[in-house]
Every structure is written in C-alpha cells, then in structure tokens.
Structure 1
Amino acid sequence: MKKTLVALGVMAAAGSAQAIEIYNNEGVTVDLAGDIEVVYVKGFDKDAEFQQEIQDADFGFDVRYAINDDLQFGGYWEFDGASGTVTSGQGSSADVGDTYVALYSQSIGSIKVGRTCGALDDAGVGSDFQFGISSFFNNDSTFCEDEMIRYDVDKGTFYGTVSIAQDHNNSTNIGTDGSYFDLKLGARVADFDFTGYYGDGDLTLATIPKEEQILALEARYAGVENLNLELGYYATNVKVKATGSEVDSSTVGLAADYTIDSVTIAAGYSFGSSDVDALESDNWFLNAGYALAPNTTAYAEVGGDDADNSEVGVALGVKASF
C-alpha cells in the first residue's frame, strides 16, 4: 500500500469521531461508526483531467460486553465500500475491512487480535486531504494485516502501542516465511506531544523480497489558540534479500493549521532524500476546509512535487465520519 503521511494523520483523527450508539442494555453495547468521502481530483501528471473518486465508503459495528467494572470483551467488523478501485463500476462489491476480537481495560490497555493495522499506520503529521508527503512510504510497505496482534495503552502523559503480524495465508507481502513488528511510544508534556515509531518487516512476497526498518519521530505543538504546528522525521533502510544491497532514505515534514470559526486552513512541505534519485521527492500542499456539520468537511486543496513534468494538483471534495 502507499499512504501519505499527512493523510494518515487525518485518518487517525477521523477514527476518533463519536460513533452512534444503537444498543445499550445490561452491559452490552453496540456502536455504529463509518465514513464517506467523494472528491473531484486532478493529479500531478501532465495534462491530467479532473475525475470523480469515491475514496471512503465504510461502516462498522463495535460490539462490547462488560466483564466487570474495568474489563470488556468486544468484537469489531467493518465493511469497506471503496475497496479496490476508488471509482466503483458495475458489478463492484464491498470488502470486509478491520475485523477483530479484543479485550479492553481502562487500567492496563487493550489488545486486539485479527485483521487490523499496526502502530505505524498511526504515523503522520499535518492535515492534508489528497496531496501530502509521499516520499516516505513505498508500495510494498505493509502496516495492516489479516493476522495481527496489537496492544495499546494510554495513561494520559504517556502512551504506547506494540503490534506483531504473521502471514501464514500468504495473502500479503509478508508471506509464510516473513514477519512484521512495530511499536509506538509517546509523551504529552505541557503543550507538546512527542511520538516515536519503529518498524521491522521481512517482506518475502513483495515484488522484490526485502527487509525494511522504519524509524519515525514526530512533535506537535498546540500552545497557541486555534493553531497547530507539527514536525516529523522519517527514515527507512531497505535491504534486498537476493543481492544484499541496501537503500537509505529520509524525509522531513513540516505542517501547520489554523482554525477561524468553521474554517480551517492548513499547509505543509516535505523534503525527501535517498540513495536512489528516483525515490527523492519534495512535496507541498495548501488547503481550506469548511465544517458543514459535526465531523463533516467540505474542502479545496492544491499540491505538488518537484518531479519533472509535474503539474499542480487540485482537489474539491466532501468527507464525513461518525
């Protein structure tokens, strides 16, 4: 998969939206959550045309059973109506998204087992919609797996995540003989939020089998009213299993957003460097979003990169989550 860093940040924020409670009785709760996004977008390619894309069309059920005052057992399953191609055609169908069972504890954290994403899927700075940093994640990076175990804990000042994955079904880039591990550690101090990530993957079924190590460091500052400032540093080491050759790449991303009543203006820029020239990319974006209703935003965005024959990208869209 290929995800932009700032887009991941938006996804994490969207995941925190208030779900709709549809059942609550004798310690059993059922919540409904979902999101939808439709956008007209023109990419960076020379002479690219505007096209309509359905980029999100998901809903899921979060069912929990109270074991005692602290512990809950739960299950979650999601239906992804925008899987595969983002422009659905005749005969298309929804796929199953996140599907897992979990134990939740306010005192010691939660553990999820099943199809879900690891800690690095939470990484990302900024609040772009379409044209964020793209030089860090490559097409073979795999942060979401069918066979994942993820543990999360948040004690207010400190928080963390650890996840491991296998692929004994040979359904992703990991493969039967591969492995994946990542973690996240964070601290909130005054108006700052500091987060570090590390990931290690042995991708035996990738297009080119390889080993990847990923390091990410992020800092956020929210000490000025209505203003958010963010800084991220991301480094990867890729070792090709067949030849033993290695490629090191790094990216530095800067982003800021400012809210005025119902309007949020955001901008970001990233600097990419790599041992391979084709993997280097500097990216930028500028956008404005208008809150039509709670968790609903209409937006306009422009962005670009420094690739040869690249043009300014434009996007006009609406997204909502619950």
Structure 2
Amino acid sequence: MKKTLIALAVLASAGSVNAAEILKTDTASVDFYGQLREEIKQISYDAGKVKSTDTSTSISSGSSRAGVNARYAVSSDLDVIATVEFGIGQTNSGDNRKHYIGFASKDYGTLTLGKQSILTDDIWGVENDWLGWGYSVLPEAEGYDMSWLQDAMLKYTFQSDNGWVSASYSYDNGKSDPETAELYAGTAFGNLDVYGGIGYQRDETSSDASVIVKNGAATVDPAATKDTTLTHGMLTVNYNGDGWNLGTTYWHAKVEDDNANTTLNTDSYVVAGSYNVTKKTSVYGGFEYIDDFQAEDNTYNNTYAGVLYQYASWSKLYVETGISDDGRYNTDRYYGIGTRLYW
C-alpha cells in the first residue's frame, strides 16, 4: 500500500512501533527497524499495438529494507535525530536508501538534512493499491523523472492542532543530481482531511555514457545530458468514517524537455477507499484515470480491488486483482498476493 496522510506522524517521530531497541536511556534511544516484502504477481496482456497476447508470472522481494533510527535529547524540547536505511531486496541489496541527520522539536517542527525521499513519496494521496499498478502519483510515474530519493535534501515538517506543513529543497550537487523543491500543507475539518501542494524539478544530469574522451580531454556530449523541467500540483480530499474511508486526489504535471523541444501536460484523477470487514480484515479498491499519460492523446485507466489481512502490527497479507487499459497497448489484467513482515 502507498503512503497516506498518516505518514506525517511517522516523519515527526522517525520511528517504528515494531522497532527493536538497541539502546534505551532517559535521554537517548537507538532502534533497529525493517520490513521484508514478498510478492507473487501474474499479468495477462491482451493483443495491442506493441504487446502480444501473453501471460507472465513473477516472484519478487524488491523494496525490502532495514535501518537504524537514533534520537538524543539535547533539552526538554529539542532532540538530535539520525537515520540510515539500506535495501535488502533481490534488486537493491546493500543499497543506501536513506542517510540523514537533523533536529526535532514539538514546538518548532522537524528539520533534517541528507539523503531523503521526496515529499510526494511521504505524503502521497488516496491511491491505495498494494501491487503498485497505479500511476496517479504523477511525480513518481515513469516518464516524469522525479526520483523518489534525493542525495542532498533539506526537509522541514511542522504539525499543530490546526494542521501541518512540509517543505523540502534538494541541491543539484554540481548537476550530478536534479534540483527539486516541494511544499505541502493540510488540515482537517472533523472527519474530512484536505491537503495538497506543489513541486518543481530541474534536471540537467548526465550519464557516464555522455562523457567523450578525445585526445586525452574529457567533454560532455550535450545530446546525452538531460534538460528537463517538471512542475506539479496536487489536491486531496479524504473522508474518514467509522471503519471506512473514501477520498479523491487530483494531480497535474507539466514536463518540458528542451532537448526534444516538447512539452507534456498530464492530469490524473483517482478515487479510492477501504472498509473494515473485521478488526483485522479490510477490503479496498480504487479507480484512476490519467489523461495524456506519457504521451499526448494517450489515456490510462486502472481499476483494482483487494483484501488486506493484518494479523498483528508486525504483519500484513494482501490479495489484489485489477484491470488496466493503456491507449497504446490495450488491456492488461493482473492478479497478485503478497506479504510484509515488520520489526
């Protein structure tokens, strides 16, 4: 499942209810946390313009991770915090996912600096699929080039009884990384959550293949260097009932590629919700529509539904199915089952 507004509470504490204590004193705590993910997924492709009729089955343990959170009290209202997180999946084993330090205050908010995820990834929206077939979060969708992880990011989050605000800026490190900036804010009116924000990215990075060595001198091939600008905006409204929720998110993204001299404006709409059947079991589902997805005049529709079973705070099991339609490829049907274990 993707992030929701609840992620803001996690941002402030930078901890996990299941974390194993390494150190615990009156003024300090160090916790070891993580999660293991396993998933089996089958996709059936209909004959389309590019794809042929086929079925593929995959078993994945990607995105599993572990890390350490540290917190040291400087005063009654100021803590020094630090986090390091690494991948332990089949595709990212040993990768340094996150690495940052900062300060946390109940009165003034939380400020962190280092390798961190973009606010879009922290806050998300109402999209709640677990198999990851949804693309309504445009800044993270393929073709929009806003990497969810930035190497040199300054992030600030403040919460009060009236609402919350989060802002971030990431430095381009001499154009070895994209430059990004995001601002989000939200509040609640009884059971109704309303939040949204805007973002920007300037990407002038180049790959190793763009470096040309001639007569002992290294130059950068301009054609192999990115020259794109991404701007986006989001608005979410979500109602939390007694054992159920229903919400909608609108996202707009504009990508300008100066190398290709093209501009793409894309809009996504998603409606999603869940209902608690029992204390441990819930059903969920959603529908998303994206206009001009990855290409002009291309529409993308995705309808999904699933069952989530949470035996305890340290475990989740889900079964999900869905059907998507891409104007370029026709219809895909997918099914899957997955589990996640937390500590």
TM-score range, shorter chain: 0.7 to 0.9
Provide the C-alpha distance between the structure 2 equivalents of 1:198 and 1:265, rounded to a whole number of angstroms.
31
Structure 1 contact 214–234 (Cα < 8 Å) conserved = yes
Structure 1 contact 10–128 (Cα < 8 Å) conserved = no
Residue 273 of structure 2 aligns to a residue in which SS? Answer: strand
Q: Residue by residue, what CA displacement relative to the aligned partner does 1:58-93 show, whole Å, maximum 9, x if unpaired?
A: 11111111000000012110121127x37xxxxxx4
Runs of 5+ unmatched residues, structure 2: 46-52, 207-224
Provide the C-alpha distance between the structure 2 equivalents of 1:237 and 1:185, rounded to a whole number of angstroms.
21
Residue equivalent to 2:48: none
Provide the C-alpha distance between the structure 2 equivalents of 1:290 and 1:171, rounded to a whole number of angstroms.
43
1:7 aligns with 2:2: yes
Q: How many matched pairs?
A: 304
Residue equivalent to 1:305: 324
Q: How far does residue 151 in structure 1 lie from its aligned partner after superposition?
A: 0.3
What amino acid sits opposite 1:321 in the alignment?
Answer: Y
Report the RMSD for the aligned CA atoms in angstroms: 2.4
Q: Residue by residue, what CA displacement relative to the aligned partner does 1:145-167 show, whole Å, maximum 9, x if unpaired?
A: 01000001111321011000013
Pick closer, same or farther for the CA change 1:244–1:11 going to 2, 3 Å. farther
Structure 2 contact 320–335 (Cα < 8 Å) conserved = yes
2:308 to 265, 284, 289: 289
Pick closer, same or farther for the CA change 1:254–1:132 going to 2, 3 Å. farther
Residue 268 of structure 1 aligns to a residue in which SS? Answer: strand
1:234 aligns with 2:251: yes
- Using the aligned pairs only, state the percent identity: 20
Provide the C-alpha distance between the structure 2 equivalents of 1:78 and 1:138, rounded to a whole number of angstroms.
24
Structure 2 contact 38–61 (Cα < 8 Å) conserved = yes
Residue equivalent to 1:138: 142
What amino acid sits opposite 1:260 in the alignment?
Answer: V
Provide the C-alpha distance between the structure 2 equivalents of 1:10 and 1:128, rounded to a whole number of angstroms.
15
Residue equivalent to 2:231: 213
What amino acid sits opposite 1:57 in the alignment?
Answer: S
1:165 aligns with 2:184: no
Pick closer, same or farther for the CA change 1:11–1:301 going to 2, 3 Å. farther
Residue equivalent to 1:263: 281
Provide the C-alpha distance between the structure 1 equivalents of 2:63 and 2:249, rounded to a whole number of angstroms.
26
Pick closer, same or farther for the CA change 1:125–1:17 going to 2, 3 Å. farther
Runs of 5+ unmatched residues, structure 1: 1-5, 87-92
Provide the C-alpha distance between the structure 2 equivalents of 1:267 and 1:292, rounded to a whole number of angstroms.
20
What amino acid sits opposite 1:271 in the alignment?
Answer: Y
Residue equivalent to 1:107: 107
TM-score norm. by structure 1 comes to 0.87
1:315 aligns with 2:327: no
Q: How far does residue 8 in structure 1 lie from its aligned partner after superposition?
A: 4.0
Residue equivalent to 2:85: 78
Structure 1 contact 157–189 (Cα < 8 Å) conserved = no
Q: How far does residue 277 in structure 1 lie from its aligned partner after superposition?
A: 3.9
Pick closer, same or farther for the CA change 1:310–1:319 going to 2, 3 Å. same
Q: Residue by residue, what CA displacement relative to the aligned partner does 1:152-185 show, whole Å, maximum 9, x if unpaired?
A: 111132101100001316554x1xxxx2100111
Residue 94 of structure 1 aligns to a residue in which SS? Answer: coil
1:252 to 269, 289, 300: 269
Provide the C-alpha distance between the structure 1 equivalents of 2:175 and 2:203, rounded to a whole number of angstroms.
11
What amino acid sits opposite 2:292 in the alignment?
Answer: S
Provide the C-alpha distance between the structure 2 equivalents of 1:56 and 1:321, rounded to a whole number of angstroms.
13
What amino acid sits opposite 1:205 in the alignment?
Answer: T
Residues 133-142 or 281-290, more deviating? 133-142
Pick closer, same or farther for the CA change 1:313–1:282 going to 2, 3 Å. same
Pick closer, same or farther for the CA change 1:321–1:156 going to 2, 3 Å. farther
